Amino acid sequence: MTKIVSIKSALYRVPLREVLSDAKHGDHTHFELITAQIETEDGLIGTGYTYTGGRGGSAVLAMLENDLGPFLTSQDSEDVEQRYEDMQWHVHYVGRGGIASFAISAIDIALWDLRGKRLGLPLHKMAASEVDASSVSGDRCHAYCGGIDLNFSTERLLQNCQNYLDLGFEAVKIKVGQPDLEYDVQRVAAVRNFLGPDRAFMVDANYALDREQSVAAANAFKPFNLLWFEEPTIPDDYTGYAEITSRTGIPLAMGENLHTIHEFEMALQQSRLAFIQPDASNCGGISGWLQAARLAEEQGVTVCSHGMQELHVSLVAARGGVSLGEGSIPVAPGQHASVGWLEVHSFPIDTYTHRPLQVENGLAVAPDIPGSGVEFDWEKLQPHRHPA
């Protein structure tokens, strides 16, 4: 038992280099980073964090400072799973997801950082410890760049794709959900033409469409051999997802908006997903991400990630190699269907750490240092502290 002696939280509002847009959240001008540093009685410090698309960060910080911080002080830092469970119930009545899940995530990641430092183990090894030896597990994983690019002209979109290839990536996701489907199809066609037939290519509608529009879009996208169609419709319409894939055969993905394990259970039971994309920043941290991964593995759904690539690289490397099981959605040969994919998100959190994401031969490489592997460059962040 090693007691928690203090939890220090902070909010940063970090500007983006250019305005980024998607179908339902409009323009992003900056992202918010909310950090939690836990110090234990033996002097170790663990760091956790979460992020937002620019809104709600103050509420997450308030929950950390007013509720979870005081609740956890003097408790044992080593029993991470129990602390996770306790936090869920402590804020359950006002939580069951939402802001509470973001705050819990930041604390949970800090506790895992402490666990890794104490055990001398990197995250990819801790996350793989319960995977049987026959599964694909290691320190690297497939990675794709996910653009927030709905507002880009087609020319700018293709330039962006070229930038991704120049950085060593071999797979791309773009936003869809334009008011006019024909314009979406033109952009998808242009990107597929640019990438060639063999690179993995995905699209993401950020739930801009209803069921019928999703079916029409999925059919229109068919000639372009998409690896997946992400969040065509609202994530709460679990059976809608099953209907869209039943009627079109298109592989579907979602997960960034599932914030409790119960939401993952419903999605995995009802939605006929080909890919699930939990985000440890909003589904309960590393504990929540691993819970979702276990469920997905049981159901034969491939585990991917959303956002914060500097952390998820370790989790997807450890758990993203699970083969598709029987009854899951067939995906065309050559599409790397059976491996998980790390999203390299357009919010560059990793550039504010001492180890921005590393890519070798198109694969992302997990850090090998004890803990979460994410060490912030606090000096670089300091100008963005809010309030200053």
Contact 108, 80 (CB under 8 A): yes
With contacts defined by CB under 5 A, name the span among 86-94, 200-208, 318-326, 370-378 that binds Mg ion.
Answer: 200-208
Contact 302, 329 (CB under 8 A): no
- Write b or e for each residue in 72-109: b if 16 or more Cβ atoms lie within 10 A of its Cβ, otherwise e: beeeebeebeebbeebbebbeeebebbbbbbbbbbbbb
Nearer of residues 184 and 204 to Mg ion, judged by Cβ:
204
Minimum distance, C-beta of residue 347 to Mg ion, in the bound complex (Å) = 12
Minimum distance, C-beta of residue 22 to Mg ion, in the bound complex (Å) = 8
With contacts defined by CB under 5 A, name the span among 175-183, 196-204, 344-352, 367-375 that binds Mg ion.
Answer: 196-204
By beta carbon distance, the residue nearest Mg ion is 204
Q: Which of 28, 306, 312, 345 is catalytic?
A: 306
Minimum distance, C-beta of residue 369 to Mg ion, in the bound complex (Å) = 29
Minimum distance, C-beta of residue 204 to Mg ion, in the bound complex (Å) = 4
Minimum distance, C-beta of residue 42 to Mg ion, in the bound complex (Å) = 40
Nearer of residues 23 and 68 to Mg ion, judged by Cβ:
23
Nearer of residues 151 and 358 to Mg ion, judged by Cβ:
151
Peptide bond into 387 cis (omega under 30): yes
With contacts defined by CB under 5 A, name the span among 114-122, 176-184, 198-206, 241-249 that binds Mg ion.
Answer: 198-206
Q: Does 3 qualify as catalytic in the annotation?
A: no
Contact 250, 272 (CB under 8 A): no
Site string for Mg ion, 146-185 (x = CB under 5 A): ----------------------------------------
> Cβ of 30: how many Cβ atoms within 10 Å?
18
Beta bridge partners of 202: 173, 228
Q: In whole angstroms, how large is the CA radius of gyration of the chain?
A: 20
* Residue 279 binds Mg ion, judged by CB under 5 A: no
Q: Does 175 qualify as catalytic in the annotation?
A: yes
Minimum distance, C-beta of residue 249 to Mg ion, in the bound complex (Å) = 21
Minimum distance, C-beta of residue 359 to Mg ion, in the bound complex (Å) = 21
> Could you say which residues in the range 342-371 bind Mg ion, by CB under 5 A?
none
Quote the CA–CA distance of 162 and 158 in Å, as a whole number: 6
Nearer of residues 109 and 174 to Mg ion, judged by Cβ:
174
Contact 276, 268 (CB under 8 A): yes
With contacts defined by CB under 5 A, name the span among 82-90, 197-205, 210-218, 375-383 that binds Mg ion.
Answer: 197-205
Quote the CA–CA distance of 182 and 188 in Å, as a whole number: 10
* Residue 204 binds Mg ion, judged by CB under 5 A: yes
With contacts defined by CB under 5 A, name the span among 44-52, 60-68, 122-130, 204-212 that binds Mg ion.
Answer: 204-212
| Both structure tokens of 186 | 């033109």
Strand positions, DSSP E, the chain = 4-22, 26-40, 45-52, 140-146, 171-175, 200-204, 228-230, 252-254, 275-276, 302-303, 341-344, 358-360, 363-365
Quote the CA–CA distance of 349 and 376 in Å, as a whole number: 9
Contact 295, 265 (CB under 8 A): yes
Q: Which of 30, 124, 142, 175 is catalytic?
A: 175
Count the residues of the shown chain that bind Mg ion, applying the rule CB under 5 A: 1
Q: By C-alpha distance, which of 168, 126, 129 is closest to 373?
A: 126
Q: Name the residues that contact Mg ion, by CB under 5 A.
A: 204
Catalytic residues: 175, 306
